[in-house]
Amino acid sequence: MSERNTLIRSLHDVGLAAWFGGSLMGAIGLNGAAREEGATDTATDRIASAGWAKWTPVNAAAIGAHLFGGGGLLAVNAHRVAAQQGVAASTTAKTIVTAAALAATAYARVLGKKVELAASTDPQDTEKAAGHPIDLYKARRHLTWAQWAVPALTGGLVILNALHGEQQRPDEQITGMWERARSVSPFMS
């Protein structure tokens, strides 16, 4: 079956590439540069927060493109998910890892906003921070873990995406559909 889905595949893949690459660059490059340039922990927090705030809208667009493309690919490949042995399992794994990556991304953003608010010199932000005190050391530690979880999880999605690509090879489809048919019908040999 030679059906092209270039647009939705591109949205899926480019969105994932930006989500993975941006989170990895931020965890290594942006946070590393902020540690080198920040004279104090507060200055480091301000530098890192400013960079992550600039990335947030692009990251949101990348995630949206990936999810839209993924939904489109699932729709056009629903027959393979149902009929080809192994595709439903890899699709389920990819869905679970995507949900975990989304949760880690959201958690990192919430923690990042808390750290940003605590490091702000804006009087309004200082007033807001006073109304919602946080354990800054704990928030920073959790933020570091969350910011590393995102590229780890999205990297896992890249690997699962490669598996899906392998499963689309014609010989894999034929074998997988034959195995699925055999597994549901005990009379086929």
Tens-place pLDDT, residues 151-183: 999 999 999 999 988 877 666 555 655 565 566
Other CB atoms within 10 A of residue 56 CB? 15
Residue 138 belongs to some domain of the structure? yes
DSSP H/E element including 131: helix 123-131
Residue 109 belongs to some domain of the structure? yes
Number of domains in the chain: 1
**What average pLDDT is seen over the chain?**
88
pLDDT number for residue 86: 83
Cβ 69 vs Cβ 10: under 8 Å:
yes
Residue whose token pair is 């953003």: 109
pLDDT number for residue 1: 44
Residue 154 belongs to some domain of the structure? yes
Residue whose token pair is 């490091």: 119
Residue 103 belongs to some domain of the structure? yes
Residue 98 belongs to some domain of the structure? yes
Handedness of CA 180, 160, 66, 13 (dihedral sign): negative
Tens-place pLDDT, residues 10-37: 999 999 999 999 999 999 999 999 999 9
Residue 188 belongs to some domain of the structure? no
pLDDT number for residue 186: 64
More confident residue, 33 or 127: 33
**What DSSP string describes 65-98?**
HHHHHHHHHHHHTHHHHHHSTTHHHHHHHHHHHH
Q: Which of 53-67, 116-130, 166-180 has the lowest mean pLDDT?
A: 166-180
Residues spanned by the domain of 143: 6-183
pLDDT number for residue 165: 82
Residue 1 belongs to some domain of the structure? no
Please determine, for residue 65, whether its predicted confidence score (pLDDT) is greater than 60. Answer: yes
* Section 121-128 average pLDDT: 67
Measured distance CA(13)–CA(70) in Å, rounded: 9
